[in-house]
Homo-oligomer: A and B are copies of this chain.
Amino acid sequence: YAKLSKMSENGVLSRAKVLTIDTMNPTVKKVEYAVRGPIVLRAVELERELSEGMKKPFSEVIKANIGDAHAMGQQPITFFRQVLALCSYPELLNDSTFPEDAKSRARRILQSCGGNSMGSYTASQGIDSVRQDVARYIERRDGGVPCDPDDIYLTTGASDGIVTMLKLLVCGEGATRTGVMISIPQYPLYSAALAELGAVQINYYLNEEKCWSMDISELQRALDEARRHCNPRALCVINPGNPTGQVQSRQCIEDVIRFAANERLLLMADEVYQDNVYAEGCQFHSFKKVLFEMGPEYSDTVELVSFHSTSKCYMGECGFRGGYMEIINMDDEVKAQLTKLVSVRLCPPVPGQALMDLVVNPPQPGEPSHDNFIKERTATLSALAEKAKLTEQVLNTIQGISCNPVQGAMYSFPRITIPEKAIQEAMEPDMFYCMKMLEETGICLVPGSGFGQTDGTYHFRMTILPPTDKLTILLNKVKEFHQKFTQQYS
């Protein structure tokens, strides 16, 4: 080993660093995460510059880059926050201004906590009573398909669960290295986690012409090609889709399950947008429900993990990092290993567990908070449905932009025509396009390249979360910018 050291100009001994870009974990270097990439860093800079009085061609930065509902002005559900306040400071249980159902919910959560405090560690898998509530929620959602609380693992947001499951799966070297199928476009957590774990990313393309649906023939193509150089073991599906906003049909889900069963792939269903369905004729079908409707040949054998979180839907509580995963047909020994693995991090954050409990067990008819809860939830979901429609409509009025219906989730992923001259000028044409839009209009979007797209096509992801008035301004600015950009490079 070398003790590298040298005298610097001021005579101080300077040692070469232990940890440099050349001597750090190479898999970490391969990680990319567009949702918080260079465009977003520049947006933060621009906000600072604006606040320092610097002149810009816009008066505010509008962030439509991330599904962060509260940051865009969406209000939290009153009942949820009342219960969290009661759990944080139980003195408030004596406060007569809090509704009784909020108090009884808080008491139940606190009784499940060591020393009746959210400050205690919980079981690594999550609080028992919360997992029971999650199981009952899933049973109701799936029309009575049974759910065992022992198959529920509470997580630190859905991301944590997804990374944990991928970690369990990865093994082998070279041609036997674990491969995982992910959609393109994808949510970049998947590619980032696979890069970090050194697993092989297997891309299957969603069909943009058919509203970002999944084609079994495309899955088969991707799988057959991948089998030449790795060991494909899992198939990830995001439904409703991120970044593409589609809602998969029941038939499609059944086909995918059959494909996974035939090809011996573990299924990972990212279902965090399960309440975000807007388009007429569309409906959320959980992978679990469809699996069980397909009969024991499938429901007794297909390994399925489904993820949910407190961050999306009508609650949008990203900051609390609450979530759960349900594991179905997992080998008992592997499950024991999973339980051991999650125990190393001790437990998911307790306020997030409490919030997850409220999401799966909201106020019931007859309880004092029920009407207001329904009112708030409906208002949020209706506003999102309206904004989904508005986004699609306005984008499709722009020549050179075409946008599939935003059937669900919180995103549009329109295809944009970039003039040949701009393509030749830029290394990454859609990054160039989005960065220019940010500098000229203050609108922060994420280029399609951050999610993956068919070669030679360009997109951006835009959330539908800004308030309607701001969204209208944003869409008009996009229109103006696109026209100007097209003109400039034609």
Interface residues of A in 1-15 (CB under 8 A from B): 1, 3-4, 12-15
CA distance A70 to B114 in the complex (A): 7
How many copies the complex holds: the figure is: 2
Interface residues of A in 237-277 (CB under 8 A from B): 261-266
A319-B120 in contact given A71-B115, A88-B81, A349-B351 (Cβ < 8 Å): yes
Contact with B along A329-351 (1 / 0, CB 8 A): 11101100100110111111111
CA distance A265 to B19 in the complex (A): 9
CA distance A168 to B196 in the complex (A): 10
Chain B, Cβ-Cβ closest to A233: B18
**Contact among B157, B231, B315 for A346, CB-based, below 8 A:** B157
Asked if B13 and A301 make an inter-chain contact with CB atoms under 8 angstroms apart, the answer reads: yes
**A359 at interface (Cβ–Cβ under 8 A)?**
no
Chain B, Cβ-Cβ closest to A330: B19
How far is the CB of A228 from the nearest CB of chain B, in Å?
11
**Contact among B70, B159, B303 for A117, CB-based, below 8 A:** B70
**A113 at interface (Cβ–Cβ under 8 A)?**
yes
**Contact among B36, B74, B119 for A318, CB-based, below 8 A:** B119
Interface residues of A in 258-305 (CB under 8 A from B): 261-266, 296-297, 300-303
Give the interface segment out of A22-30, A213-221, A371-379: A22-30
Asked if B71 and A21 make an inter-chain contact with CB atoms under 8 angstroms apart, the answer reads: no
Chain B residues with CB below 8 A from A92, complex form: 85, 92
CA distance A115 to B329 in the complex (A): 41
**A431 at interface (Cβ–Cβ under 8 A)?**
no
Asked if A334 and B24 make an inter-chain contact with CB atoms under 8 angstroms apart, the answer reads: yes
Asked if B318 and A120 make an inter-chain contact with CB atoms under 8 angstroms apart, the answer reads: yes
Contact with B along A137-178 (1 / 0, CB 8 A): 000000000000000000011011001000111110000000
**Contact among B17, B329, B341 for A28, CB-based, below 8 A:** B341
**A66 at interface (Cβ–Cβ under 8 A)?**
yes
CA distance A45 to B89 in the complex (A): 31
**A426 at interface (Cβ–Cβ under 8 A)?**
no
Most buried by B among A189, A346, A352: A346
List A residues at the B interface (Cβ < 8 Å).
1, 3-4, 12-21, 23-26, 28-29, 31-33, 36, 44, 66, 68-74, 76, 81-82, 84-86, 88-89, 92, 95, 97, 113-115, 117-124, 156-157, 159-160, 163, 167-171, 189, 192-193, 196, 227, 231, 233-234, 261-266, 296-297, 300-303, 315-321, 329-331, 333-334, 337, 340-341, 343-352
Nearest first, the 9 closest Cβ-Cβ pairs linking A and B are A71-B114, A319-B350, A85-B89, A70-B117, A21-B333, A349-B349, A70-B119, A71-B120, A36-B343
